[in-house]
């Protein structure tokens, strides 16, 4: 089984709707990254979470790391066609509770988001 499970695997929404993507880990998360990817292109960094209960926002995207640090969610408010793409969560399995990162990321399988105008 995957170390990081993302759900749903794909999501189709109407423009203006809110949506949530989940990332569940089988191990404690000390460094959790969210990236967005357009098909066949590189990964665009969205946010990094390290502390249990931490929440970060950028424009209409909010990411949270739960208190037990084994699940993260990405929430998009009032979705737009520009939000369409593949969302990937990545865990730095080599980081520690002190927040030091060693840059070896394990990724979920991705969530494909389609936003219809």
Interface residues with other proteins (CB under 8 A) are 4, 33, 35, 40-45, 48, 50, 88, 90, 92, 94, 98-110
Task: Give Cα 5 to chain centroid, integer Å.
Answer: 11
Shortest distance, CB of residue 105 to other proteins, whole angstroms? Answer: 6
- 8 vs 45 by CB, closer to other proteins: 45
Q: Is residue 105 classed exposed, middle or buried when 0-12, 13-18 and 19+ CB atoms within 10 A define those classes?
A: buried
* C-alpha span between 12 and 6 (Å, rounded): 15
Q: Shortest approach of other proteins to residue 99 CB, angstroms?
A: 4
CB of 97 to other proteins, least distance (A): 11
70 or 77, CB closer to other proteins? Answer: 70
Rounded to a whole number of angstroms, the minimum distance from the CB of residue 73 to other proteins is 17
Give the separation between CA 91 and CA 97, rounded to whole angstroms. 13
Name, in order, each residue with C-beta under 8 angstroms of 12's C-beta and a sequence gap of 6 or more.
Answer: 114, 116
Question: Is the Cβ of residue 42 or residue 117 nearer to other proteins in the bound state?
Answer: 42
């Amino acid at each position: 089984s995957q170390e990081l499970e993302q759900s749903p695997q794909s999501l189709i929404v109407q423009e203006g709707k809110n949506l949530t993507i989940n990332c569940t880990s089988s191990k404690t998360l000390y460094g959790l990254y969210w990236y967005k990817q357009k098909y066949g292109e590189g990964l665009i960094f969205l946010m990094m979470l390290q502390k249990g209960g931490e929440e970060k926002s950028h424009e209409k995207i909010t990411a949270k790391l739960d208190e037990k640090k084994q699940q993260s969610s990405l929430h998009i408010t009032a979705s737009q066609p520009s939000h369409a793409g593949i969302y990937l969560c990545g865990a730095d399995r080599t980081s520690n509770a002190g927040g030091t990162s060693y840059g070896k990321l394990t990724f979920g399988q991705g969530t494909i988001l389609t936003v219809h105008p």
